[in-house]
Structure 1
Amino acid sequence: METKKSLFDNLQNFFGFDNFKGDQEAIITNILAGNDTFVIMPTGGGKSMCYQLPALMSEGTAIVISPLIALMKNQVDQLRAFGGSDSIAHFLNSSLTKSEIARVKEDVLGGKTKLLYVAPESLTKQENIDFLRLNHVSFVAVDEAHCISEWGHDFRPEYRKIRQVISNIGENIPIIALTATATPKVQHDIQKNLQMNNATVFKSSFNRTNLFYEVRAKRSVIKEIVKFVKQNTGKSGIIYCLSRKKVEEVAEVLNLNGIRALPYHAGLDAKVRAETQDKFLMEDVEVIVATIAFGMGIDKPDVRYVIHHDVPKSMEGYYQETGRAGRDGGEGVCVSFYSQKDIDKLQKFMKDKPVSEREIGTQILKEVIDYAESSVCRRKQILHYFGENFDESSCGNMCDNCCAPKTFFDAEEHLHKVLSLIKHIDEKFDDRYIIDVLTGADNPQIRNYEHDTLPYFGLGKEDGENLWNSVLRQALLDNFLSKDIDQYGLLRLTEKGNDFIDNPYSIRFILNREMEAADDEDGEEGPKQGGGALDTELLQMLKDLRKKIAKQKSLPPFVIFQDPSLEEMCTHYPISMEEMKQISGVGAGKALKFGGPFIELIKKYVEDNDIDRPVDMVIKSAANKSALKVYIIQNIDRHLNLEDIAASKGLTYEEILREVESIVNSGTKLNLDYYIDEVIDEDKQDEVFDYFKTAEDDSIDHAIAELGGDDYTYEEVQLMRIKFMSELGN
């Protein structure tokens, strides 16, 4: 009773909580009793409390092994804030200087430090082992314990040496291993490797009831992301991308669209990464765009959405990354974009790996594909992956599949065929092979085994691959089958499956929706399409305004804004300077010079006519062309020949003129006199320039016809039009 009282006193005095969450109390009592303890608890369940509180209550120092420097720093800062003393918690890793290491060791030896966080790489250094042997170690906490297993999503070879090091530090040191994601296979690996088969296991449910799961086909993905973030203004979010390059690109586009976002990946300086995390925690930025290096142990409870720009590499990774949303129990939306191209890329990465790793990787990825393509409750699939059965009626429409209309089919006969075939061929094949037999595929392996002579061969050709995929997926989810992970994902019949073969009964399954072919493009290049039908009434008003301003300024109307820009204004209704800059062919210079009256007119028009503006306001893209534009502008400033600039970038002369023209039309002033003076004589220049001053439109063909066809080439007139637009329009 006394221990129970002191447990609650310590919880309240130190952390300010009145109650424990879930199994926390039982876990802490178990570790205080000196027993090995294995904790499987989802993100947000309060894992760190399970070793922090017993460490504070035990004699000596607890060693916490953690894979991430950011996680250590975060937790040490929190403990120091709670405990009011800097000595209470320290970390020992490669980021410290010699004098900082000496200070840590002094505090630990002096008995002032209750928790010492160590990276696995630092733990295995002989000098650190010798130092730790001098101290009384209360227990060792192995955080992120799934790193031990190559079946885990974050395998770290150094983790496999932990047991050996602990034995070198002292005898009978209790271990608490903790992980937020572990399939039954990974759980077994962890216990075996840490030699803690007799540990008390505490496993919480993996169900995060407040998270909404959604998978979308990958189409114009950056546009979709900007739109989503704009609809969730003021909320914190994380966007995960597979590559550093994509991280930088997405962050740039978000900033261009007025969203405070920062990139985060391993290629950035450690100091920059730490500052980025702090800015996110302090809400100086709304969105972090990151590779999966971000978020481990970042204790931000109010992340409201997690977006996967690319298919996650594994279900564990997906679960852990989505688990960073809604840790306070509030709203958490998890959107993942899916395309075949992503899958192909991930499979390509695996080609160079050793066979065993490739086999494991292929199976781990296959689970992700099945999850994304299935129409069954997402929650049911996630929990099944972690060895937990779930009745989808409890999802409460908290995933896209449960919200969507479903197509059911009577599956009794199909399921019977599948299970009977698996039994007939001695449970020695995976799901892909079973589908190939049923659909009569041309597979050399089938011929080798002479399975093309079976009555099952081609029996389900008419039904199509999607239906058989649906049957096999749901046979697994409903435990008619199990997958033998150790044996390359071979399908085995469960007791329930064998019973069904002997005593079939009526059963309905859901047919997978065919994932529409996603184009996987960011769809941001080229002229931007309008958000709907052209508003002809507004277009006329804008043209009248353009004419009026042109008269006042003694300029031809097309110098103000060209027709395609006006047309885009009539589908997107820009009502702020920021939005006006995003209309193609406008740019910052033109928006500031001419945009004001147009914005006012559009704003009044929208109010008077009660117009519902499209939410996907023109998305400003950091088109890959921006680097080319900068290159062209810099080289024109250096008075390089256009032919030379074109050649250095592999462009034709026509293409370079098009690029230069688009730069000028968007409002940037370029001085091309040095080049024009060389290629067009002065009289001709004046003639064309004067023509454009009074021209009705900016057509080059009209200009040539008017000026006398044979005297001018198309390129000459185009060059002069560029000079004209640059000097008068910008």
Structure 2
Amino acid sequence: MKDAVLLKTLKEYFGYESFRPLQKKIINSVFEAKDNLVIMPTGGGKSICYQLPAILLPEITLVISPLIALMKDQVDGLNANGVPAAFLNSSQEEADKQEIFQKIDRREIKLLYVAPESLQFVDRFLTDGKVSLIAIDEAHCISSWGHDFRPAYTQLGYLKNRFPNTPMLALTATADKATRNDICRQLNIPHAQKHIASFDRKNLSLDVRQGIKRFEQITDFLKNRSKESGIIYCLSRKTTEELSTKLQRKGFKAEAYHAGLDHEERSQIQDDFINDKKQIICATIAFGMGIDKSNIRWVIHYNMPKNLEGYYQEIGRAGRDGLASDTLLFHSYSDVIQLQKFASNAKNQDVQLAKLDRMKQYSEALSCRRKILLSYFGEYLAEDCGNCDICRNPPEFFDGTIIAQKALSCIFRLKAAEPISTVIDVLRGSQNEVIRRNNYQQLSTYGIGKDISWNHWQQYLIQLINLGYVEIAFDRHNHLQLSEQAKKVLFEKEKVFLADIKEQEARAKVEKAAKTPENSLFERLRKLRLEIAREEDIPAYLIFNDASLKDMEKQRPMSDSEFLLVEGVGRKKMEDYGYRFIKEIIAFSKEKREKKKPKKKKKGNSIKETFQLYKDGLSIEEIAQEKGVTQNTIFGHLIKLYDEGENVNLKKFVPRSDLNAVKRARKVLDNTGSLRAYYEHFEEAIPYENIKISLKVLEKESN
């Protein structure tokens, strides 16, 4: 497929001027009828890899998707972009299904989304020749090695036998090497080309903290984020409910979401979140896979996740529009114990425990977190990222040999028969039931660490575990025991360097989020977007995402042609919403100018000012900045001055190649083409303003 056709389709339907890394390569592979496995981070642009080919391919594209909510979101987004799409699932009425079948027969649908459980509906009317492409979304669900195994996905292996000549595209955000191989094996695509995008989501800040005073830290984090959407992931249903209630009492629009709620209630909560009626969802991991919301600005993990794949996918739900977003992970020793119990009951216990151990290492790391996260997925980062808590506040180390000797001696005296909490109680000289019942007050190590706080002892012991001096005996009630390495500290004078524990309140102080002014253009456009969303009863981000609004704020488009150049604006969205957004931008700019220049100007003075600044040698950009208007407005002034015979050299504003191209196009279009006709003739490769100026120059030269 020609690059020009692909780029034109990308701009017209999705509003982007260029492809992201790997997208074009994957799309070309699809057109070559090859099978492909795509590992691309959440927000990395996986969907376009099959949605764009679907528009250009002759027959229907079948998309297997795990959740009804995810299908609906994708279909709504496609329809908003002018791409005919539909979904089939068990919740639909028979009449609705029949209507979709009829549309397929009339070739009115380009993409059909189907749940794995609903494949029997498709079988009865699709033949090999009627399917141009099969896309398997969230493909990791098919593998027991993956982090979200779903038995319903195991039936998908028959699709390649059923449609042997149809290319298959398997997509997922997270999959390690074992999972990737298993996906290809189970889908019967052993020779699939593997495309693995960078896992580095630079726009996400990574912050990990001890699970102490979590609620206070969360409310501090949320102070300047009252208008931003976010998710708080919790380990239990009870925690989601307790946390959402506490947040509601503090005035936050929060709701709990978990599998224990009935279907109707879950759907309502999800819809409220998608439509910006609720800002915060406190959820178990049951929430999120069905959410395609691009303007989630932060994700908090109230508890430590069970593996890095799940953690990565969950934080990936923030900042899908590419704008800066925050992630915050709390972890504690009790989280590890609880997750270890869960893993011990799993069928693939060894795999789960190993993955939990990697998650634990990440949470307790003292080096760049992004490096650790990326290395897990086989990606090497040369420099520290500068956007995680460790990079922002590097730990300071001190000689902690005496502290280590005290801790190790205490574990030795306890004969490796107690968990971390009792070890700390003995070190601090506590007087509780466990101490008295076991006569631990008689031990020589009793009270030798009373000058160190309980929380600091916990941190030092966790460091000693990470350094390999202490081990947790999970099979013996999580008792602490000494490793062989510990003997070097106790008997061979090996030094131990520990990270200084800064007071939690000081260390965990959240940098205040940059507050968007109430009267900014971005806020005005966001309010307009919400107003239109309520009118049309669709999620606001399906109209335009936050990145598009930010680009509008920066570019200040005041015409259709300028509006088309905004990132994320395709032709249909320009036609549907362009007028109202341009009107709002013009009104805002006018208000700003009036505030800056209270004195009323004489009519016609503005163009004369432009001419004077032009004669003074200022560039277009400098003139626009000086006058507080867009560059396109200045071009308009100069064209008018040129028409009036003033000494304005328009030729210097367009490349000679563009001028020559327009000159040739005039012959093809027979001098009758509109600006839009020229724009389409050049397949949008030459900007509107360059075409406009070129035509003006050529018109004068031909007279």
Short-chain TM bin: 0.5 to 0.7
2:206 counterpart of 1:213: yes
Q: Do the aligned partners of 1:250 and 1:289 also contact (CA within 8 Å) in 2?
A: yes
2:67 counterpart of 1:68: yes
CA 1:130 to 1:340, structure 2 compared with 1: closer, same or farther past 3 Å? same
How far does residue 457 in structure 1 lie from its aligned partner after superposition?
Answer: 8.5
Partner of 2:33: 34
How far does residue 386 in structure 1 lie from its aligned partner after superposition?
Answer: 0.4
Matches of 1:190 and 1:444, distance apart in 2? 32
Partner of 1:53: 52
Q: Do the aligned partners of 2:306 and 2:339 also contact (CA within 8 Å) in 1?
A: yes
Matches of 1:194 and 1:140, distance apart in 2? 11
Return the match for 1:104 from 100, 103, 106. 100
2:315 counterpart of 1:322: yes
Q: CA RMSD in A?
A: 3.4
2:121 counterpart of 1:120: no
Q: Do the aligned partners of 2:31 and 2:53 also contact (CA within 8 Å) in 1?
A: yes
Partner of 1:193: 186
- Measured against aligned partners, the alpha-carbon deviations of 1:630-672 in whole angstroms (never above 9, x if no partner) come to xxxxxxxxxxxxxxxxxxxxxxxxxxxxxxxxxxxxxxxxxxx
How far does residue 247 in structure 1 lie from its aligned partner after superposition?
Answer: 1.3
2:187 counterpart of 1:161: no
2:85 counterpart of 1:89: yes
CA 1:76 to 1:513, structure 2 compared with 1: closer, same or farther past 3 Å? farther
Code of the aligned partner of 1:130:
R
Code of the aligned partner of 1:234:
K
Equivalent position SS for 1:131? coil
Q: Do the aligned partners of 1:373 and 1:514 also contact (CA within 8 Å) in 2?
A: no
Matches of 1:440 and 1:253, distance apart in 2? 38
How far does residue 337 in structure 1 lie from its aligned partner after superposition?
Answer: 0.9
Partner of 2:487: 461
2:340 counterpart of 1:344: no
CA 1:298 to 1:186, structure 2 compared with 1: closer, same or farther past 3 Å? same
Code of the aligned partner of 1:382:
L
Runs of 5+ unmatched residues, structure 2: 400-461, 476-481, 506-703
2:366 counterpart of 1:375: yes
CA 1:511 to 1:66, structure 2 compared with 1: closer, same or farther past 3 Å? farther
Moved more, 141-150 or 128-137: 128-137
Partner of 1:139: 133
Matches of 2:311 and 2:391, distance apart in 1? 17
- Measured against aligned partners, the alpha-carbon deviations of 1:337-380 in whole angstroms (never above 9, x if no partner) come to 111111211222234333xx111211111111111112121101
Return the match for 1:363 from 332, 354, 365. 354
Q: Do the aligned partners of 1:347 and 1:362 also contact (CA within 8 Å) in 2?
A: yes
Q: Do the aligned partners of 2:366 and 2:395 also contact (CA within 8 Å) in 1?
A: no
CA 1:281 to 1:7, structure 2 compared with 1: closer, same or farther past 3 Å? same
Return the match for 2:168 from 171, 175, 189. 175
Q: Do the aligned partners of 1:373 and 1:515 also contact (CA within 8 Å) in 2?
A: no
How far does residue 399 in structure 1 lie from its aligned partner after superposition?
Answer: 3.2
Partner of 1:400: 390
Matches within 5 A, 1:270-281: 270-281=263-274
Matches of 1:383 and 1:166, distance apart in 2? 32
Say which structure, 1 or 2, has more relative contact order (CA 8 Å, 6+ apart): 2
Q: Do the aligned partners of 1:217 and 1:516 also contact (CA within 8 Å) in 2?
A: no
Partner of 2:654: none
Code of the aligned partner of 2:390:
D
Matches of 2:466 and 2:272, distance apart in 1? 52
Return the match for 2:250 from 253, 257, 263. 257
Q: Do the aligned partners of 2:160 and 2:188 also contact (CA within 8 Å) in 1?
A: no
Matches of 2:367 and 2:466, distance apart in 1? 23
How far does residue 222 in structure 1 lie from its aligned partner after superposition?
Answer: 2.2
CA 1:514 to 1:64, structure 2 compared with 1: closer, same or farther past 3 Å? farther
Matches of 1:23 and 1:442, distance apart in 2? 44
CA 1:131 to 1:277, structure 2 compared with 1: closer, same or farther past 3 Å? same
Matches of 2:306 and 2:357, distance apart in 1? 10
Q: Do the aligned partners of 1:61 and 1:135 also contact (CA within 8 Å) in 2?
A: no
Structure 1 stretches of 4+ with a deviation exceeding 6 A read 435-438, 440-445, 512-518
CA 1:184 to 1:441, structure 2 compared with 1: closer, same or farther past 3 Å? closer
Q: Do the aligned partners of 1:376 and 1:402 also contact (CA within 8 Å) in 2?
A: no
Runs of 5+ unmatched residues, structure 1: 410-431, 446-455, 471-509, 519-730
Matches of 1:133 and 1:341, distance apart in 2? 54
CA 1:361 to 1:515, structure 2 compared with 1: closer, same or farther past 3 Å? farther
CA 1:408 to 1:173, structure 2 compared with 1: closer, same or farther past 3 Å? farther
Equivalent position SS for 2:487? coil
CA 1:406 to 1:64, structure 2 compared with 1: closer, same or farther past 3 Å? farther
Matches of 1:59 and 1:34, distance apart in 2? 13
Code of the aligned partner of 1:83:
G
How far does residue 444 in structure 1 lie from its aligned partner after superposition?
Answer: 14
How far does residue 268 in structure 1 lie from its aligned partner after superposition?
Answer: 2.8
- Measured against aligned partners, the alpha-carbon deviations of 1:489-516 in whole angstroms (never above 9, x if no partner) come to xxxxxxxxxxxxxxxxxxxxx9667899
% identity of equivalent residues: 43
2:79 counterpart of 1:80: yes
Q: Do the aligned partners of 2:205 and 2:326 also contact (CA within 8 Å) in 1?
A: yes
Code of the aligned partner of 2:149:
F
**Larger Cα-atom Rg:** 1
Code of the aligned partner of 2:185:
K
How far does residue 311 in structure 1 lie from its aligned partner after superposition?
Answer: 1.0
The TM-score with structure 2 as length reference comes to 0.57
Q: Do the aligned partners of 1:438 and 1:461 also contact (CA within 8 Å) in 2?
A: no
Matches of 2:329 and 2:346, distance apart in 1? 26
Matches within 5 A, 1:508-527: none
How far does residue 212 in structure 1 lie from its aligned partner after superposition?
Answer: 1.2
How far does residue 402 in structure 1 lie from its aligned partner after superposition?
Answer: 4.8
Partner of 2:451: none
Equivalent position SS for 1:160? helix
Matches of 1:115 and 1:444, distance apart in 2? 50
